[in-house]
Amino acid sequence: MRDKKDRRQTRAFTLVELLVVIAIIGVLVALLLPAVQAAREAARRGQCSNHLKQLVLALHNYEAAHRCFPMGGGSIGYSPQARILPYLEQTGLHDRIDYSQPPYLGSGPNTFPNPALANVFPAVIPVFLCPSDQGPKRFAFDSGGQSYLFGANNYMASNGSGTGTNYDDRFPTDGLVQTNICRRMAEFTDGTSNTVFMSEAIRGNGQDLTLPAGSLPAIPYRMMLNATSGITPGTGPGYTGSGSGWPSGTVLNPDLSPVLANHPDWRGGANGSGRGLSWVRSLTVNVLTNGYLPPNSRIPDIQFHGSGFFGPRSFHPGGATAAFGDGSVRFLGNTIDEATHRALHSASGGEAISQF
C-alpha cells in the first residue's frame, strides 16, 4: 500500500531547481532588455527624423508661397516655427496669431508675454517635440506677478555657422534665418544638400542653477551657460569681449573653455530663458541655433545677451538629427569634423565639404 501511495504523489521542484530557473530567466531578461530598449530608441529616432522631415518640407512650402524662407523676428518678433504653422496642418492655431502685435511687450529685462496671445503660447505641438526627450512639454514662467505657460520646442532653425561674427543675428549671418530678412533660394550658393536648415536640441528643465565656475551640470545638458558678463554688443556685427574668459576686442571664433571656467550661472527656463522654452517668440535661445559646437559637445551651449554659441543636441546615442535644405534628414555624429560641421551650417561660405 505504501509503495502505491508514493507513486501517486506529485513530484515538486526542489529549491535548487527553482533558483536555477529564476537565474535563467534573469539572464534572458538581461540579454533581451537592451535589445528592446534599442528597438524603442530606433523607433523614437525614426519619429524624430520624420518630424524634421515635416518641418523642412513646411519651410519649402512657405518658400513656394512667399518666394523666400521665413525670417526671424529678433527678441520682439515671431519665430520661423510660428510662421510655418499653416504648412504643418496648424492653420487654426496660426489664425489665432495677430502678427501686427508683438509677442512680447515692455523693454529690456522687463518684457512680458503679450496677453493677446494667452491662448497661443501654451499650445503643445507634437511635431515640435522629439520623443526621445522626456523634458517638460510645457514651461511655466512668472513675470510681474502673472503666470504664463509655454508650449516647448526641440527643433531649432539655423542662423549660420557661428564663425566670425555669424553668431550675432542682429545683423545678416550665413545661415537660413536672418533677423527681419527672408532669404531666397538663390542665396544658398553652397547647395541646399550641404546646408543645414534645422537641427534638434535638448529642451530645458525649467530650472536655473548656480554652480562653482567651471563646474558642469549633468550630461546630457538641459541647461545652457549664461556668460553675459564680460561681453557686450558692439556697434557693428560681433560682440566685444572684456574679461570673464572672453577674449579682448571683437569676439571671433573664440575658445569657449575659458568662458566655461569663469561663469557660474546656468539657465534652464525658470527666468524665461532656456533652450526650447517656447516656439512662438523668435528669441535665439528658444528657437534658433548655429553650428559652432559639434553635436552633443562637452562644451555646453553658451548664451549672452540673447545670442550665443550652440550646436545640435539629443538623447539619441552617438549624435543628433538635422534637416538639410534639399529636404533630406541626416544623422550628424558626435565625432564629425568641427570645420565640416560649421561649414554645413553656412549657406554661402564656399567651404569645401568633406564626407560626414
Least confident of 17-31, 72-86, 98-112, 269-283: 17-31
Say which residue, 146 or 318, is predicted with more confidence. 318
Q: How confident is the model at residue 117 (pLDDT cuts 50, 70, 90)?
A: very high
Sign of CA dihedral 226, 253, 200, 86: positive
Q: What is the mean pLDDT of the chain?
A: 91
Distances (CA, A) of 76 to 114, 138, 282: 10, 21, 7
**Of residues 224, 202, 87, 91, the one with CA closest to residue 155:** 202
Beta-carbon-side half-sphere exposure of residue 162 (alpha carbons within 13 Å): 30
Q: Could you report the per-residue pLDDT of 291-310, keeping only the tens digit for each?
A: 999 999 999 999 999 899 99
β-pairing verdict for 138-143 and 224-226:
unpaired
Q: How confident is the model at residue 77 (pLDDT cuts 50, 70, 90)?
A: very high
Dihedral, 152, 154, 160, 166 alpha carbons, nearest 10: 50
Whole-number pLDDT of residue 296: 98
**Residue in the structure block whose three cell numbers are 535563467:** 24
Q: How confident is the model at residue 149 (pLDDT cuts 50, 70, 90)?
A: very high
124-149 mean pLDDT? 89
Q: Decide if 313 contacts 301 (C-beta within 8 A).
A: yes
Q: How confident is the model at residue 282 (pLDDT cuts 50, 70, 90)?
A: very high
Whole-number pLDDT of residue 7: 53
Euclidean distance between CA atoms 156 and 285, whole angstroms: 9
The three cell numbers of residue 57 are 518640407
Q: Could you report the per-residue pLDDT of 43-65, keeping only the tens digit for each?
A: 899 999 999 999 999 999 999 99
Non-local (6+) Cβ contacts of 268 within 8 A are 204, 205, 206, 207, 208, 209, 222, 223, 224, 274
Q: Taking the CB of residue 106, how many other CB atoms lie within 10 A of it?
A: 14
75-89 mean pLDDT? 95
**DSSP E strands: which ranges in the chain?**
104-105, 112-113, 138-143, 146-151, 155-158, 196-200, 208-210, 224-226, 231-233, 239-241, 249-250, 265-267, 288-289, 302-304, 307-309, 319-324, 329-333
Whole-number pLDDT of residue 40: 82
The three cell numbers of residue 85 are 504653422
Q: Could you report the per-residue pLDDT of 12-42, keeping only the tens digit for each?
A: 768 777 788 888 888 877 777 666 667 787 8
Whole-number pLDDT of residue 124: 97
Whole-number pLDDT of residue 33: 66
Q: Could you report the per-residue pLDDT of 325-344, keeping only the tens digit for each?
A: 999 999 999 999 999 999 99
pTM exceeds cut of 0.75:
yes
The three cell numbers of residue 238 are 560681433
Q: How confident is the model at residue 138 (pLDDT cuts 50, 70, 90)?
A: very high
Whole-number pLDDT of residue 22: 84
Euclidean distance between CA atoms 46 and 51, whole angstroms: 9
Q: Decide if 210 contacts 166 (C-beta within 8 A).
A: no
Say which residue, 239 or 40, is predicted with more confidence. 239
Whole-number pLDDT of residue 270: 85
**Of residues 339, 332, 299, the one with CA closest to residue 318:** 332
141-149 mean pLDDT? 80
Residue 351 has pLDDT above 90, yes or no: no
Non-local (6+) Cβ contacts of 36 within 8 A are none
